[in-house]
Structure formats: structure tokens, C-alpha cells
Chain A
């Protein structure tokens, strides 16, 4: 893995990077706004609130609009992994304690294991699978490879999602800012030093691009 990645051209233009995110973070943020405005306008009369034992939800995953039926007990994590085959998002504790299930919801990192899928109606979800632009990895992914930001790799997708959320809103985070942003992700292999280094490297490269 290391070898092929080294051969690949590693320069990123800002445009390519934005395009890479295009379908997900930047692009569909607009779409979801419209969608929500359309869905709002609830009938304010005192009619009974809707009650569901299942519901069809329509949302955007990695730039693709999907529509599927979910039960109230299904978490976003289970829907991503089992119904959408997006198994890059990992299930570890299933209790909001480790961060391996972190995805971006309208650009914000959340634990998908504690998020009811029925709530994603009209929202934008970005998973680890939605970061690369074609064959070109996201700068954070590339930096995790170059800086040995993982050992067993199980926590990595979650760490990368938290790092991407940080760098999207803060191009030049300080070390304490990096630590705080990643404080909801645990690495059982204890690879924190290398992880922080990867985020700093990604931050430098993204600013240069």
C-alpha cells in the first residue's frame, strides 16, 4: 500500500480537493438546505403527530441520494453497514464510547451507533468511502498512510472522519485543537502520536494545495 501511494502524484490542487468533497460536504449542503425547507411547513393545527413503526427516509450518502425503509430501532451505523454495504464505518462498542463509527452528518462528526437512522431524512451523510476523489485519496487519508497513522487500522476510519471535520472548519489547527477534535476517538493500539502527526501533515498539505 505504502509503495503504490508513494508512486502516485501527491499534489493536490484546491480545486481537485473541493471537487473531491463536492458531492458530499460542500455540494449537497446546499441541496439538503433546500430539501429541508421543502419538507418544513408542518401543518400547525392540533392534529395527531405522525407515529411510525417504519418509515422511508431519503438522504444523501457520499453525494448519492438514497431512499430506503427503516425501523425506529435501526441506527445509522447499521443502515450504512447492512443496507448500504458501506462497511468502512466500523462497529466496535456500539455505545458511543470509542468513535470508530464516526461519520459526518451535515458536515459535523457524530457517532452513527447512537444516531437513529429514521432521523437522517433530508440530511447529508459522509462516510470514509466518500472522501477519495476517484483514485486520488483525500489528503487526510494520504497523510495517515504516509505517517503510519494506524497499526491494526480498526479505529482509522473514525479518526479520519473526525480529522476531516476539523480541517474543514480550521485549516491550521493548533496541537491542543487537534487533540480536542480527536478526543472522541479511541485507538486501542495507542497510536496517538502518529495520528496527530498525520493530521498536522494533512493540514500543511491542504494549505499548500
Chain B
């Protein structure tokens, strides 16, 4: 591993100061479970790593009147074992538990999960100078693309690997971003960006900004949520396709429903057409399939990932019926 210096800030101001310094390549490290692999592979080559682990004020889970506040440095294990999270947002509990393994969840954080880098094998291999790394082509287009995007690809076909992101977007979460001039709060749905906007990054953060907190509104009466993840094998893996669904039930239909997919696009992918199609109607397998079919017309699969279209359809049926 290439050597680097490590900074151990103890306050938000110190983190901000370090990120704004300029002059050298600076990277933020939370748990490090993603970023250390990037350094080992030579994909990331920071001169200075800003380690958030000494930030005593960043791990927290607080239930306030305006909902749940979760600090960026909260570990996934702490998130999954919090009783209020489990009862108020069962889908978030499921999403947190679906990440990696116990060892990773003990160290990996919420902030790191939401800001992790893509897993595309061309991006992760230092030998391929792909678009995302400043090169001129996306090797997945003509290469091996079994795990790549079926929506929103265009010039780069990564899928966003986070399990928390689709669920938190379905739950209408907001993020608190610290910038040198102060803080801003924005919906998590506006945090991620497509390659067409900036192929080098996956979110709107400037290099001198970072994520401090996630806020989820209190659950509405009759609210349900679920997170379902399809993997290629039984043990830990990233999602081939995942579905995060939140709905409020009224009678035997949904008054309100939000569906966000993981594993299919460079950002968490909302299916508004399907939401509209299933809302306020009696749910059945055939009706979901029909609605999904229309929305999936927009998918643009490549040579090896057409199977993902069928997985999306199956997962929509399964997840929607499970909370109906």
C-alpha cells in the first residue's frame, strides 16, 4: 500500500479545515472498509487521509419530534441493533443487516455506506483507465457487463452498490452536508448524480464537503417498509437487484407508495411509473407484473445483464405483496 499521512480531527471545524486545505490529495475515511481496499488496489492514492473515527460527536441515533437523526459515523451494527429503528423503519433494519458481514457492519458506517465508491471491476482495477477514472471509454459497454446498469448508464455503466441508499430515499430521508461556509440540508434523492452530469463522482459533494447526518421523517400511521436484495450466492454479496419499498396502507390498497431500486443504475433508481400504477388499487401479482412491464420498457440492458429486467419484475411482485 502506498503510504499516506493521517489526520485525526476531533471537531467538525477541523474536518472542514482539513478538506479545504488544497495542495495535496485529501480523502475522508470513516470505517475504512471500502476506502482501504481502494488504496490497496491503487485506485485511490491520497496523500492525506482524514480519519473521522476520533469524532466523538458523529456516531449517534436520536429520535426527535421531527423524526430520526442518525450521525454519519454510526456503525451499521449499531443501526441494525437499535430498537427504534427496527420498529419504526423495518425496511432500514433489513437493509442495514443485508450489508456485507458482521465484521464489516461492526466497522462500516452509515456515512461510508452512502458515499462508497462503485464496485465495477474495470473501475476497481488500476490497469483500466476508464471514464470514471479520467479515461475516454467505459469498458463495460463492449466488455463483461453482467453486473452493470440497465438504467441511466449512458457514458458509464456502474451500479451504485449501497444497500442503505435506496431504502433511505424510499423513506424520504434528508442529509445534512457540512460545507466550509456552513451546513445545508437536502433530500437524499437529490444527493446522487448520474454519470452524464459528472462521471468522476457519484454524488453532489464537493471535495471540501462531507456528510454529517441523516434525518428520516417519523413514520406515518399505517406505514410499512421492506428491503429485499437478490444476490448471486447465499453468503455476503452486493445486490444484483434490490428493491426498497415504503407504503402507507388504507383498506386493502396503498394510499401512498415509494419504490427505489438498487443494483440497476449508477444511482438509486426510483420507479415513479410503477408507484403511480399500483397506488390506490387492489394489488395482485398480475396487476404488478403488468405495471412493471410498462415501466421496464425503459430499461437498456447490455449483452450480459438482460436477466436483471426479469429480476426487477420478480422483486417488485415479492416486495409489494409482502407489505400489502
Contact = CB atoms under 8 A, between A and B. Distances in A.
B4 A116 contact: no
A53 B48 CA distance: 9
A95 B34 CA distance: 9
B8 A50 contact: yes
A116 B18 contact: no
A72 B49 contact: yes
Given A71-B3, A94-B40, A181 B102 contact: yes
A109 B17 contact: no
B196 interface: no
Nearest to A106: B106
A114 interface: yes
A30 interface: no
A46 B9 CA distance: 10
A12 B2 CA distance: 47
Given A49-B10, A50-B7, A109-B102, A73 B33 contact: no
A114 B109 CA distance: 14
Place the interface of chain A in its size category.
35 or more
Contacts of B37: 95-96, 114
A114 B15 CA distance: 22
A119 interface: yes
Interface string A33-62: 000000010101010111111010000000
Contacts of A110: 103, 106-107
Interface string A111-124: 10011101100000
A88 interface: no
A116 B40 contact: no
Given A46-B13, A48-B17, A49-B14, A118 B6 contact: yes
A95 B235 CA distance: 16
Contact of B235 (A52, A53, A114, A183): A183
A102 B107 CA distance: 12
Contact of A115 (B13, B100, B107): B107
Interface of A: 40, 42, 44, 46, 48-53, 55, 71-73, 75, 94-96, 99, 102, 105, 108-111, 114-116, 118-119, 162, 180-181, 183-184, 186
Contacts of A180: 102
B137 interface: no
Contacts of B49: 72
B6 A183 contact: no
A46 B11 contact: yes
Given A49-B14, A109-B103, A116-B32, A186 B2 contact: no
10 contacts: A42-B10, A51-B7, A52-B6, A52-B7, A72-B4, A96-B103, A109-B102, A116-B32, A184-B101, A184-B104
A193 to B, nearest CB: 14
A102 to B, nearest CB: 6
Given A50-B8, A184-B236, A114 B32 contact: yes
A96 B6 contact: no
Contacts of B100: 96, 184
Nearest to B77: A108
Interface centre among B17, B54, B103, by most A CB within 10 Å?
B103
B56 interface: yes
Interface centre among A96, A115, A184, by most B CB within 10 Å?
A96
B299 interface: no
A183 B102 CA distance: 7
> Which 6 interchain pairs have the tightest Cβ spacing?
A184-B101, A72-B6, A49-B9, A42-B10, A49-B14, A184-B103
Contacts of B9: 49
A132 B2 CA distance: 37
A40 B62 CA distance: 22
B36 interface: yes
Given A114-B107, A119-B51, A184-B236, A52 B8 contact: yes
Given A40-B56, A96-B37, A111 B103 contact: yes
Given A73-B3, A116-B51, A109 B106 contact: yes
B65 interface: no
Nearest to B49: A72
B14 A116 contact: no
B220 interface: no
Nearest to B107: A110
Contacts of A51: 5-8, 48
Interface in B38-55: 39-40, 48-51, 53-54
B32 A52 contact: no
B100 to A, nearest CB: 7
A123 to B, nearest CB: 11
A134 B29 CA distance: 40
A108 B108 CA distance: 13
